[in-house]
Structure 1
Amino acid sequence: MLLAVLTDLHANREALEACLAHAQERQAEQYAFLGDLIGYGADPSWVLDTVINYVGRGAYVLMGNHDLGVLQADRKDMNANARAVVEWTRGQLNDYQKEFIRNLPMQIELDNLLLVHANAWAPEKWEYVDGVMEAGRSINATQAQITFCGHVHRPSLYHMSHAGKVGEFTPVSDLSMSLSKLRRWLVQPGSVGQPRDGNPAACYALYDTVQRELSFFRVPYDAETASQKVLEAGLPAVLAQRLIQGG
């Protein structure tokens, strides 16, 4: 099965459309959305409706911290810009969309795979996996051989040997790699809707569950339009600029 893994969509319609079209062209058979469907971007309703449509076809979807934020009146743990967008987003969604978010799980286990938004050791605390130490902690918190997670907004690939040593690869776009059964892996596909590694192109990954082959992709999209929509919605200008700069 060819699984498309997309995370941190952040209400970016243009980026999501581009990634879904890219995955379809490559004959993706299943889809997993790892949370933060909304927040930051200007099209939360459209993005949610699109994800809900994919759920109807069997897609997997997780809760992210921005998704949860829409359900909570006070999110002091978020920075001012994120809080402003959460409050605006809450007013854009209907009751059905909010109920959909409310019922999302924090993690999903699929055979030897774990899907989670932030990390495996405490999914509900939203702590980041942003280095080999945190990657090792997350890998050791699960029995899954391969963990897919988001939250950091940049593509990364970590691996752990039988001896417990953790290493990191820098992913190369469009290059397929085999994930050896002799190691355990943590895959961060990068953000669809708001990349933060200096490259504005949207990110996602494809994983062949039979051949155990993983590919990272960077997908150019109309970031200018997405950025202009953020401004027109009256959302913080820095969020529009991030889309153009890739962080």
Structure 2
Amino acid sequence: MRALVLSDIHGNLEALQAVLDAASGWDALWNLGDIVGYGASPNEVIDLIRPLSSLTVRGNHDRVCCGLTSPNGFNPVARAAALWTREELTAENTEWLRALEQGPLHPAQPGVTCAHGSPLNEDQYILSMRDAWAPLQQMTTSITFFGHTHLQGGFSQKEHDWHELRPAYASANEAGSWVFEIPAETRQLINPGSVGQPRDYDWRAAYAIYDTEAATITFHRVPYDVVRAQGRILMAGLPERLALRLREGR
């Protein structure tokens, strides 16, 4: 079985389309949340990803943009985007977001957990080995896919051996992939990266493919039409910073 793992699309239609065009041969799509927020195409993104997803975890921006919680905890730019998105969403898409389940969730594939942030707390960021220590110890499955940080990679543990995973690519502008062979008897916290707003200084859309038979996770980066995505943001009257950061990858 091959699962396409996506996270943090953030209303970026161009990035999502590029990922779906590039990814092939997958059997299930696991969506780790933050489908909307920041980007200027929330309805188009939901309409595209909703029928394809086998599993969708609620993200914190999804929760705020559909009105379940207040945007007051967000910084001013994120808050402005959330309030704009809240007004832009159709009634149907608002209700769909409201009905999404909080993680962690378990797909049909055994041994896997899907979460937005930490599997211990959906709003917690896993940025370092210190952050990863408790989730790795308390995970009920050998692999947990998570998002929220917009940083592609992850953390691996086997007994007293701990490793941080950071994919390396030959080019910063072309499509690329990096294969991680999953060692036996290990625990893995894996972040596929952000589709719509990477923050690891790589502007390309990020995703991952989990192949259960080959016991591999392949990280991918794919270029997309950043200029078009930026134009949508500016035309919508959203903060300019949201457009600029797409090219910067941070």
Q: Contact conserved, 2:179 with 2:216, CA < 8 A, in 1?
A: yes
Count of residues paired in the alignment: 239
Q: Does 1:130 align with 2:133?
A: no
**1:168 aligns to what SS in structure 2?**
strand
1:99-118: CA deviation from partner (whole Å, max 9, x where unpaired): 11111112211310000000
The aligned residue for residue 62 of structure 1 is: 57
Q: Contact conserved, 2:153 with 2:191, CA < 8 A, in 1?
A: yes
Q: How many angstroms apart in 1 are the aligned matches of 2:52 and 2:69?
A: 28
Counterparts of 1:2-81 in structure 2, within 5 Å, are 2-24=2-24, 27-55=25-53, 59-70=54-65, 71-72=67-68, 74-81=70-77
Moved over 6 A (4+): none
Bigger Cα displacement from structure 2, 183-192 vs 132-141:
132-141
1:68-98: CA deviation from partner (whole Å, max 9, x where unpaired): 0012463221111111111110111122111
The aligned residue for residue 142 of structure 2 is: 145
Q: Contact conserved, 1:6 with 1:189, CA < 8 A, in 2?
A: yes
Q: Contact conserved, 2:63 with 2:69, CA < 8 A, in 1?
A: no
Cα RMSD (Å) = 1.2
| 1:87 corresponds to which of 83, 86, 98 | 83
Paired amino acid for 2:80: A
Uncovered stretches (5+) of structure 1, i.e. residues with no partner: none
Tell me how far 1:172 sits from its aligned partner: 2.8
The aligned residue for residue 232 of structure 2 is: 229
Q: Does 1:189 align with 2:188?
A: no
Paired amino acid for 1:232: M
Q: Contact conserved, 1:10 with 1:194, CA < 8 A, in 2?
A: yes
- When normalised by structure 2's length, the TM-score is 0.92
Counterparts of 1:166-245 in structure 2, within 5 Å, are 166-173=162-169, 174-245=177-248
- When normalised by structure 1's length, the TM-score is 0.93
Q: Contact conserved, 1:36 with 1:66, CA < 8 A, in 2?
A: yes
Question: CA 1:73–1:150 in structure 2 vs 1: closer, same or farther (change >3 Å)?
Answer: closer
Uncovered stretches (5+) of structure 2, i.e. residues with no partner: 170-176
Q: How many angstroms apart in 2 are the aligned matches of 1:156 and 1:47?
A: 24
Counterparts of 1:111-126 in structure 2, within 5 Å, are 111-123=110-122, 126=123
Q: How many angstroms apart in 2 are the aligned matches of 1:79 and 1:141?
A: 31
Q: How many angstroms apart in 1 are the aligned matches of 2:190 and 2:178?
A: 15
The aligned residue for residue 172 of structure 2 is: none
